[in-house]
C-alpha cells in the first residue's frame, strides 16, 4: 500500500464517526473497526491481500470483504474448545462458514485456514499483504510472535492493525514484534475504545509501516 490510506481515511471520516455495521453478524468489534477494514481493503494495491488472524464468527472478516469483489481476504482461526468470551469453538466454526456462504456473490474471495497462526504463517501463498489485522490470542508471547511472523508477508509498505490495544502487554508485544522483524513504523495512532459500539471497542493500534528487508 504505497499511500497511507489509513491516516487519510481517519481524517476524512472524523474517525468513522457515526458508522453503522456493514454485516449482520454477532461479534466483539465496533462499526468503526468494521468500516475502516472495509475501506482499507477497497484501497489495496492490485495483487495485495488482506490477512486476519482471529475471526470468530466472521464479523470483521466479512466486513472487510463486503462489496470488495476482485480482492482476496485471508482468514486464520484455530477454534478453541471453549473460550470465556467466545463460547464453544464448534459453534463459532459453524457460524463462520455459514456467514461466508451467506455473503457469497457480494464480497471478496475469502480463503480461510483453520489452524494455529504459527502454522499459518509458514505457508507459501499469503503475500503480498497490504492490510494485516491481528485479533488472535492476546498473550504477550502469541502477539509478539504473530506480529513478527506476519511481517515477512507484508508489502513493502502496509497497514497493520492490532485489536485489544487497551491491554498494556499487547502494546508492548506488538512493538517488540515489529523490532524483531525489522519493521519500521512510518505512522501510528492509538485508537481508543471503552467496549461500546460508538468507540474502537477495546482499542486498536493502527500502524502504517515499512517492511524489513
The boundaries of the domain holding residue 204 are 5-210
The number of distinct structural domains making up the chain is: 1
Residue 85 in this model has a pLDDT that exceeds 50: no
Tell me how long the chain is.
Answer: 213
Kindly report the CA angle at 33 between 71 and 179, in degrees rounded to 5?
85
Grid coordinates representing 150 are: 506476519
For 98-141, the pLDDT digits (tens) are 999 999 999 999 999 998 898 999 877 788 999 999 999 899 99
Report the CATH number that the domain containing residue 12 is assigned in CATH. 3.40.50.150
Grid coordinates representing 179 are: 523490532
For 148-180, the pLDDT digits (tens) are 999 999 999 999 999 999 999 999 999 999 999
Cβ(41)–Cβ(65) under 8 Å? yes
Amino acid at each position: 500500500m504505497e499511500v497511507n490510506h489509513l491516516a487519510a481515511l481517519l481524517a476524512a471520516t472524523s474517525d468513522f464517526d457515526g458508522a453503522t455495521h456493514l454485516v449482520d453478524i454477532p461479534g466483539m468489534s465496533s462499526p468503526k473497526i468494521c468500516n475502516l477494514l472495509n475501506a482499507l481493503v477497497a484501497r489495496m494495491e492490485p495483487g495485495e491481500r488482506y490477512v486476519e488472524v482471529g475471526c470468530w464468527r466472521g464479523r470483521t472478516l466479512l466486513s472487510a470483504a463486503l462489496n470488495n469483489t476482485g480482492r482476496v481476504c485471508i482468514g486464520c482461526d484455530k477454534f478453541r474448545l471453549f473460550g470465556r468470551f467466545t463460547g464453544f469453538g464448534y459453534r463459532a466454526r459453524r457460524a463462520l462458514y455459514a456467514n461466508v456462504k451467506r455473503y457469497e456473490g457480494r464480497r471478496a474471495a475469502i480463503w480461510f485456514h483453520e489452524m494455529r497462526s504459527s502454522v499459518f504463517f509458514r505457508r507459501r501463498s499469503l503475500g503480498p499483504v497490504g492490510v494485516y489485522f491481528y485479533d488472535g490470542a492476546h498473550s504477550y508471547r502469541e502477539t509478539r510472535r504473530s506480529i513478527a511472523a506476519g511481517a515477512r508477508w507484508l508489502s513493502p509498505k502496509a497497514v497493520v492493525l492490532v485489536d485489544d490495544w487497551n491491554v498494556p502487554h499487547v502494546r508492548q508485544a506488538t512493538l517488540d514484534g515489529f523490532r524483531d522483524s525489522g519493521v519500521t513504523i512510518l505512522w501510528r495512532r492509538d485508537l481508543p475504545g471503552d467496549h461500546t459500539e460508538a468507540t474502537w471497542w477495546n482499542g486498536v493500534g493502527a500502524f502504517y509501516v515499512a517492511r524489513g528487508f
